[in-house]
Amino acid sequence: MDILVTILAFLLIIGALVFVHELGHFWVARRNGIKVEEFAFGLPLLPRIYSKRRGETTYSIYPVPIGGFVRMLGEDGKSKSKRSFAAQTAGVRAKVLVAGVAMNALVAYLLLTAGFLGGMQPLALCASDYPNATYRNDIRIAAVAPDSPASRAGLKRGDVVQTVAGERIGCSKEIPRLTAAHAGEPTAFGIVRSGTPQTLIAAPGTSGAFAGKVGIAPEDRYSELDYPKWEAPYIALLETVAIISATLTAVVGLFATVLTQGSVPAGISGPVGIAKVTGDIIGLGGVVLLRFVAVISLSLAIFNLLPIPALDGGRLLFVGIEKLRRGKPVPAHIEQYFHLAGFVFLIGLILFITYFDIIR
């Protein structure tokens, strides 16, 4: 039963986000007078399981519920109709292509805003990055390097770091910034050891292995932020930008690892991995689920913007090439070959990631 609930929840989340994405394409296309021939949910790897025509558009459901598409008149470049996609200006086509990504980003932002209105804790940035907020945290030293400035100063594993050079620490990644800024200078570390506040002096190195460092490995153990609820929309914006940045870094890491090592980084998951995480998160409450769905929605948006044929970003790439060629489009049959190759590549990538999901 738990497996069934997990699968249904996963399909519901992915299905809703795909629907929103395709709805963006559909709405902008219709707003610009483009004829939409089919609005489909699911990948067309098998015959339709549902189809209904309303007006000039056929609404379809396909049995593989991890994708979808909007088929517009003239996407293949063959139609001469003024209402075809191909007949539109490059600007209009770009708007239609970006609309799905924009919808996913908007949904993620709204979900995060709702979460922060409900008291959700930010995770993507340091606590000190949020305006008008007070915070409590627990940044502990996980390890101290032997014969380092930290060990000579008496810093120990388990110490809770509260300040560096008199500056309150919002998260562990602020410590390297402060030690680098005070290289060679005696720097005060405000810590708590066994419940007792202390101040120890360590001088970050100026050269060698400890250049700009004192030789500690800090880790964030606990953080709690108190913020005025009226700032929830702004905090959600900060969190959205931070998640996008982290996702872009992860995507670059994925392709680098696949190409150089023939494996998938531990932090990357495909459909199986996401389904498992969905099952784990369902029991953690609505606020955690909101953040999870927001992250998936932003991941979907970013992935679709990659300049890979068959994705929105790949199609945008061809629009850009057309602009560079002063309005001369790439021949339709050549573009179709590229998109077909991109589709095969994407299916292969999904299967490759899924293999690593399973063996984990």
d(CA 122, CA 287): 11
pLDDT tens for the 360 residues of the chain, in order: 466 767 777 778 888 898 899 999 999 999 999 999 999 988 787 888 988 999 899 999 988 777 788 989 887 767 778 898 888 888 899 999 999 999 999 999 999 999 888 878 777 777 777 777 777 778 899 999 999 999 999 999 999 999 999 988 888 888 999 999 999 999 999 999 988 999 999 999 998 889 999 999 998 876 677 888 888 898 899 889 988 888 888 777 777 776 776 666 666 666 666 666 666 666 666 777 888 889 889 988 998 888 877 788 888 888 888 888 777 877 776 777 777 777 777 777 677 767 666 776
335, 330, 278, 268: which is closest to 302 by C-alpha?
268
Compute the CA torsion angle 274, 172, 181, 203 (nearest 10 deg): -140
pLDDT at 268: 63
58, 69, 57: which is closest to 30 by C-alpha?
57
List the domain boundaries for the chain.
Answer: 2-18+85-117+275-359, 134-226
Looking at domain 134-226, its CATH class is mainly beta
pLDDT at 204: 94
For CA atoms 203, 206, 209, 212, give the dihedral sign: positive
